[in-house]
Chains A and B, each alone.
Chain A
Amino acid sequence: MQFQSTKRSRFLRACLIAVVAAGAAQAQAKLDTTTFVVLGEGLAAGMANYGLNSTFQTRNFPAVMATQMNTAFPQPLIQPPGIGDVIGYPQREVITPTLPQGTVRVFPEQPNPNDNAPPVFVLNLSVPGHKLVDAINLRPVAPIVQKDMKQTVVNMILGFPQLFFQRTVPLWSQTEYAKAMFPTMALVELGYYEALEAAVAGDPTKIPDPVAWGQSYAQVVQSLRQLQAQVIVTTIPNPIETAYFANPRVAASIVATAPFILTAGYQLTQNDYITRKGMEVIATQFWNRTIGPLPAGSILRANVAADITNRVNALNAQIVNAAKANGAVVYDLNAFLHKIYVTGVTVGTRSINADYFGGFYSLDAVYPGPTGHALIANDILAFLNQTYKTSFSLVDAKTVAAGDPVFAYQKPGNGRYSGQQLRVTDGPADLLLEAEAAAAQEAAAEAAAESAADAPVDTSAEANLDEPAVDAAADAAPNPTEYTVTDSGTAAE
């Protein structure tokens, strides 16, 4: 696709090279992990399975990093079932506490077992649903529990202990809180929610203006750098490459049919995407042996996806610029997740990928499970080792996977809905049969051609509609960010 060689991509690559060079210069400075503070949104917070709770928070990538770096990392652990809304799903009422919660915020064990006092401060300040503007401006405000889920989550994470016990400590926004902790090392994972919101809404204009956004981002980085903290900023993952969006090939494996059934039945191109919501509706229609209209939010057209990708890359360019201008280093999270999307990775004997039920993303399809977080943590640790000449050991992803329910997801059985089994409710009766015949004809022609040429199997999407190759996914959702995944982590070039 055209994005791979755009000016913007070349610019971004140049920026990344420059920033890594700057990072190399920073490597002269020692990385002090004493006070490791994280600013972010749901990804760094550890959202999974439709909420934020301690079951997954304790295994988020910052926590894994902290463990491997042997530094304390108190988190605002929330008792299951958790709090917070997930983009792309119905908003929930704030019901706090709900069963079986007690204190909602987990009171960790204290040295004195009779001391019920919770930790006064936390260092993972990530708040699900946080945008950059929220990180700068949104402060806790009483009452602690409100009808507004977003404010309640802010209160529960950033408002403790101020909203609970006393007002001698100011009510801080995420950025203010981070600065007040005087971090020696800060990781900034912001911008993903802006991208997710735009992608789920199918509205690229929801992504903020990159220049203004970049200026604000630079202020955050600058304010942390002024405290002499080593600052690691992460690029924004492309939401189109999460499990929430599936091209027809991947979606077909989820809803148990052939890709041409989806493209013909729902008037899609190979480069369009079906959302998690759309796949569920389609699965429901298939139960009823029908193909019918899909509700809004079910399909993301290729051109819209491309626009979103471009705009995310524009924000990432701003992140790179901000880092460069302020002496921060850039970890290319987007590139790492792109690798997961394109090729997957092998953990133990199993390959996991970014498909729904692929083992990387949790049920919400936009936030990873524990194995995914462990892989991200390892890649960042490797990046730190390379950048700062540290020697943090990596976590054993295989061990993490053994206890990870997300890793154990299973796709549906091998049966497939055929054109004969499905009825199009608002289109020509023979639409699917014609498509099926055409697909069979095409496949036969391809097979004949292959046989004649005595060539290896052609795995292009056009050649095999049932099982197009992984490359088709890469073609369909290009990412202009150049990346290299090595043993020492994902960085530019």
Chain B
Amino acid sequence: MKRAITTSLFVLGLVAGHLQAEVTVYFPPLAKPLKLPPGLIETLPVNHETSLFGDALRAVDCANDADLPYGICGDQLFGGLVMTDSHLTGNVTIQFYPPVNNVSHFVVQQHVMSGDDGVLSAPIGYSMPVKGQQISDALRLSSGDLDLTTGGVTNLQWNVFFSNTALLALANVNPKLKAPIISFPGVRGHAWATFRQRPDGLLDFRFRGETFLPLGKAAEGDPVRFPMPFCDPTAQCASVVARGTSLHPHLYLDTSAPLGTACGNNCPDIPTDTVQEFTVASFFTNFGDNFDLDVPQLGGLAPGRSHLQGRLGIQFGPREGDTVSFTIADLVPSALFATPPVSSITGPGFQPGLIGQQEFLRFPNATYFLKRVAMIDEPFGLIHGAIDLKTGRVIGEMEYPLLISQSLAEVLFAQNAGRISTDPFFLIASQPQEGEAETTYALFQKGPGGETVFRYSGEHQRSFATFRFPAPDYIFANSFVGGPNARLDIFTRIQAAHTVDNAKIVKSGSGSFVSSIGDNISYSFSVPCNQPGVPATFTYTNNNTGISGGTFTLKNLAAVSCTNSANSSAPAGDYDTINFSGFGPWSKDASDALPRFATVSISLAPGAPYTGILVYQNPDPELNVVLSGANNKPATVVLP
């Protein structure tokens, strides 16, 4: 296994190379700096409810070498990831070093922590009990640097051994694989930790780590196999060939109690071992960057934001205690039978997920037009969390690894010549400091129509000092260099709902607006919810005089999703949000041309009016797949 990982470092270039600059991540300052514990050492029990370890295995069998060794094919064996978790009992001992410039280096011993018995399960045909759960220190201790003014940790390296009967079963069917030390961030993962002051003078510690361990195609000539849940008493299990299978181990340690208030009878319906489709509410769903580049020529700040269409595929794992782990896949709009935006930054295995509107990025002295806008999903690093079923909250500070694709970013990466890692931005739903409003969070809640609503707000700030930022003409010689205070302030807000009812209703409406990029738009629609065979109508006219101007007329409906936003006031059996897609002619095309495809998101909520439309084309010479797009982007960011 070690060898496979070494190979992965080399082949995929998944790790920041030596040319890449160290990333300086910013944490919000604390009201009062932290005080280190007496004697610079503390031992605290981890909270059983918020501390767990586990895995989300991507069990695949990729027959084609092109999909190996990382297993990027779609041949999943059990209808989704194979997931497990185990809540931990034990102590962490943290030894701090005397601070220098308010930064204290620390090392951590997690000793041997025991885990609850659990189950390794998948949506279809897989359920295996897991026993003998424990984690323990590796020979190399875990360490990091604590900034006492923020509580944030940098240079975090975490090493741990995982053991349980599931790993034993995996090892038994792959006797030539050797159990690795699991390291966070590892090959393509992340490690995150924060400290908070406790009343007793000690420091609460919160850690989360996730990483990617590909098993490859074979171990010393033997094809990689996956154990089936049919085993003899010595954990010698039936097995199937599973070339390209990968592990995604995670570890959450927290010495503090879970946050949130009990949801009582209004808790969301969280299933287990199931993948559900959540449709995003585009009014509330966006990503962006408030650029503050400290470049005088640009004249100041540029708030960039694009609203997104699409879906989240949320897989809920088994229930362990009062939590259910989940993973999120960013997905294009339903039935998108068109080429989604293509990114030159990413490689095989990366795919566009949520698709964004084309927008202008306006600095006081410069303007950029952003095309090919999308969130990118990947099979290597997972978006993972665990829901506290008593509150609906995601335990800890949930990470949302975010890969942004858009035309300006591609040039930015190229002009920095490898100094910027293509790793995702790890957005964090930080918990607010005492007395502050909560602006970042991750939770599930029951919506007004009984639907399950996922809400996420996360941020990531990092220095952009010394990095190049493209000039509007994208010519390298004209590019700008970020000043000493340059920073990226990246965010994403997501609200997505999974409906539970099938109310038959027709949603209709019409409107006109000036789009966020200045086009005069008019549209009308009448689309049936949950009524196959009932005709739908939709027309969209863009009065732009260029290529994006024209009229799309829906002829064949491809998909419809009717949902409610989190605070919908729609009566029972009605919805305030509709997303649909379909084929139809474009007025500027020849009469015998193949139809175009369009995706549409409309919010009819009184407090959240929104219309977003994308009409697609085959990639043009600039690889742009959007022929015409428009949305009435809200003036300001609204929390989801």
Residues of A bordering B, CB below 8 Å = 49-51, 53, 55, 79-82, 86, 89-90, 92-105, 116-117, 141-148, 151, 163-167, 254-256, 276, 279-280, 283-284, 286-288, 357, 363-364, 403, 405, 408-417, 421
Contact = CB atoms under 8 A, between A and B. Distances in A.
Given A141-B532, A416-B233, 8 more contacts: A50-B124, A53-B74, A142-B556, A143-B580, A167-B556, A283-B128, A415-B233, A415-B234
B63 interface: yes
Given A49-B77, A80-B75, A357-B238, A116 B559 contact: no
A145 B559 contact: yes
Contact of B313 (A50, A86, A98, A255): A98
B560 interface: yes
Contacts of B275: 92-93, 95, 98
B329 A99 contact: yes
A157 to B, nearest CB: 14
Contacts of B77: 49, 363
B366 interface: no
Interface string B73-97: 1111111000000000000000000
Contact of B79 (A51, A102, A143, A256): A51
Task: Kindly name the residue among B125, B229, B241 whose own CB sees the greatest number of chain A CB atoms within 10 A.
Answer: B125
A413 B234 contact: yes
B363 to A, nearest CB: 35
Contacts of A410: 173, 225, 238-240
A107 to B, nearest CB: 10
The 8 lowest CB-CB distance pairs between A and B, nearest first, are A413-B236, A80-B74, A415-B232, A256-B232, A145-B335, A287-B129, A143-B557, A145-B559
A177 B144 CA distance: 66
Contacts of A49: 75, 77
A268 B123 CA distance: 29
Interface string B359-393: 00000000000000000010100000000000000
A100 B233 contact: no
B296 interface: no
B238 A411 contact: yes
A426 B379 CA distance: 45
A197 to B, nearest CB: 17
A288 B129 contact: yes
Contact of B131 (A86, A145, A276, A287): A287
A243 B568 CA distance: 49
B231 A405 contact: no
Given A50-B78, A97-B336, A287-B231, A409 B559 contact: no
Contacts of A276: 125
Interface string B18-60: 0000000000000000000000000000000000000000000
Task: Kindly name the residue among A148, A411, A412 whose own CB sees the greatest number of chain B CB atoms within 10 A.
Answer: A412
22 contacts: A50-B125, A79-B74, A80-B76, A81-B74, A90-B124, A92-B79, A93-B275, A143-B335, A147-B530, A164-B583, A165-B556, A165-B594, A167-B556, A256-B232, A276-B125, A280-B230, A363-B125, A405-B241, A411-B238, A412-B228, A413-B236, A416-B233
A389 to B, nearest CB: 37
Nearest to B311: A95
Interface residues of B, number: 72
Contacts of A413: 172, 231-232, 234, 236-237
B72 interface: yes
A101 B351 CA distance: 9
A256 to B, nearest CB: 4
Contacts of A117: 594
Nearest to A103: B337
B125 A93 contact: no
Task: Kindly name the residue among A147, A254, A287 whose own CB sees the greatest number of chain B CB atoms within 10 A.
Answer: A287
A99 B337 contact: no
Contacts of B147: none
B640 interface: no
Given A104-B337, A141-B532, A409 B124 contact: no
B182 interface: no
Contact of A99 (B75, B351, B559, B594): B351
User: Chain A contact residues: over half helix, strand or loop, or mixed?
Assistant: loop
Contacts of A51: 79
B511 interface: no
Contacts of B558: 142-145, 163-164
A96 B239 contact: no
Interface of B: 61, 63, 72-79, 123-125, 127-129, 131, 165, 172-173, 223, 225, 228-234, 236-241, 273-277, 311, 313, 329, 331-332, 334-337, 339-340, 349, 351, 377, 379, 502, 530, 532-533, 536, 555-560, 580, 582-583, 594-595, 618
B231 A256 contact: yes
A100 B232 contact: no
A411 B238 CA distance: 4
Contacts of A403: 63
A143 B331 contact: no
Nearest to A117: B594
A412 B232 contact: yes
Contact of A50 (B79, B230, B238, B532): B79
A100 B332 CA distance: 11
A421 B595 contact: no
Nearest to A146: B532
Contacts of B74: 53, 79-82, 99-101
A317 B284 CA distance: 61
B579 to A, nearest CB: 12
Contact of B239 (A89, A255, A288, A409): A409
A163 B231 contact: no
A58 to B, nearest CB: 11
Nearest to A88: B125
A339 to B, nearest CB: 24
Task: Kindly name the residue among A144, A255, A411 whose own CB sees the greatest number of chain B CB atoms within 10 A.
Answer: A144
B379 A99 contact: yes
Given A81-B74, A143-B335, A95 B313 contact: yes
A54 to B, nearest CB: 9
A163 B52 CA distance: 48
Contacts of A53: 74-75
B340 to A, nearest CB: 8
Contacts of B377: 99
A95 B277 contact: yes
Contacts of B336: 97
Nearest to B336: A97
Given A81-B76, A92-B79, A284 B229 contact: yes
A82 B229 CA distance: 23
B61 to A, nearest CB: 5
A51 B351 CA distance: 22
Contacts of A254: 230, 238
A255 to B, nearest CB: 6
A143 B532 contact: yes
B422 to A, nearest CB: 18
Contacts of A94: 277
A100 B351 contact: yes
Contacts of B223: 408
Contact of A256 (B128, B233, B274, B379): B233
Contacts of A141: 532-533
